[in-house]
Structure 1
């Protein structure tokens, strides 16, 4: 079994924990609490059951898209922490409610940690062989904390924000429209211009990739320039 195949199996186990494990554990806890209270308390199982259904559907859509894992992990973890501390009120036990805020924070942190771990297992280190997998690969841009290049199965996206809110914050090109990729070195004194709105960009010295697509020229500062070029080359249709 290759290193990439081992990564894939580990990553998918963690993704399953995020999307299905958290709701399943929450459902078990809520069911246990409900068994100690009145019959009406069983209604509380609706929330984790709904999360489990949503997690099942989203996992099929997001299993190869790491950019979604963090948001779902934080959301599911936060809901779990909040419900576990507040739901005992339905059975007449009030004291866990004072831990609602810490429970919410702890749940969010745990969910984010799981997503970060899955992302790290998949992408550290980034190797060209990942181009042969169905994963959407994320390359961070140096000097722009929120910006990234997303290389999908048949497209490449440059975005200035993890969750773009307008068309000015991202640009997507089919891989068939990528006409050139070249490694380049920046001195740090250049004034980089982008066809999208980029905030807090700081010029830095180091490697970069010149990406030509659909008549646009991008200079993308990244410490993984050779790997980015290799992945784009491997995924581009012949």
Structure 2
């Protein structure tokens, strides 16, 4: 990696470490501080954050170059942290934080997702051509289609309607050599987009989009990172 890419890689990996390691460590500290004020049995509560920390160490090694996993892991870890912080005080006889369980869950999820979004932005914005030569699987979220995304790896592009597709109808993969055209387009929001994969729902919204032509298929992909997606595809195709 060149210096600009190496610098960005370090910044991204610090954020990824914050998701997989930092959130569990924070929860371990909070739970320990609460447990120390209660009976010895309260220390059993440390099992959950310690388990999260172990899982985080293992998953970080697997997911460090796969941004599609950062968002769901951050949401789960953040949500569990919010719940534990508000509910664990019950173990030491403090009841009032429990009424904040739902807000704590929401704040935890939102905070975790914000950290994952920051890692995404740190990786992709602004786009530099050298990213095409990195091992990162570059992910672009589709606007108005919950959970859907475009994944670009070293030799293929995948359009999927779910982070973990459960059937062949939820994704379509094309080799980069099969792409015959990419064009930036602007949607008014009134278009009714059709997709040859199963999507839960598609909500029309105005904004940038990419027209992707591959193996006889024409896709209109609404994404706020339309220009960046085209740049990534162009670089990895070697055009």
- Whole-Å Cα distance in 2 between the matches of residues 71 and 91 of structure 1? 31
Structure 1, unmatched stretches of 5+, are none
The answer for the alignment partner of 1:181 in structure 2 is 180
The answer for the alignment partner of 1:116 in structure 2 is 117
- Whole-Å Cα distance in 2 between the matches of residues 116 and 205 of structure 1? 19
1:154–1:174 contact (8 Å) kept in structure 2: yes
Change (3 A) 1:14 1:28: same
The answer for the alignment partner of 1:132 in structure 2 is 133
- Note the alpha carbon deviations across 1:147-195, whole angstroms, 9 max, x for none: 43210234321123445443212112344xx333323466879986543
Change (3 A) 1:133 1:43: same
Number of equivalences: 234
The answer for the alignment partner of 2:150 in structure 1 is 149
The answer for the alignment partner of 2:108 in structure 1 is 107
The answer for the alignment partner of 2:202 in structure 1 is 200
Larger radius of gyration: 1
Change (3 A) 1:4 1:209: farther
TM-score (normalised: structure 2): 0.81
- Whole-Å Cα distance in 2 between the matches of residues 3 and 27 of structure 1? 35
The answer for the alignment partner of 1:75 in structure 2 is 76
- Whole-Å Cα distance in 2 between the matches of residues 134 and 183 of structure 1? 23
Change (3 A) 1:165 1:86: same
Deviation, structure 1 residue 88: 1.5
SS at the partner of 1:67? helix
Structure 2, unmatched stretches of 5+, are none
- Whole-Å Cα distance in 1 between the matches of residues 138 and 49 of structure 2? 31
2:185–2:211 contact (8 Å) kept in structure 1: no
Deviates more, 1:61-70 or 1:162-171: 162-171
The answer for the alignment partner of 1:52 in structure 2 is 53
Deviation, structure 1 residue 104: 1.4
Change (3 A) 1:186 1:47: closer
The answer for the alignment partner of 2:20 in structure 1 is 19
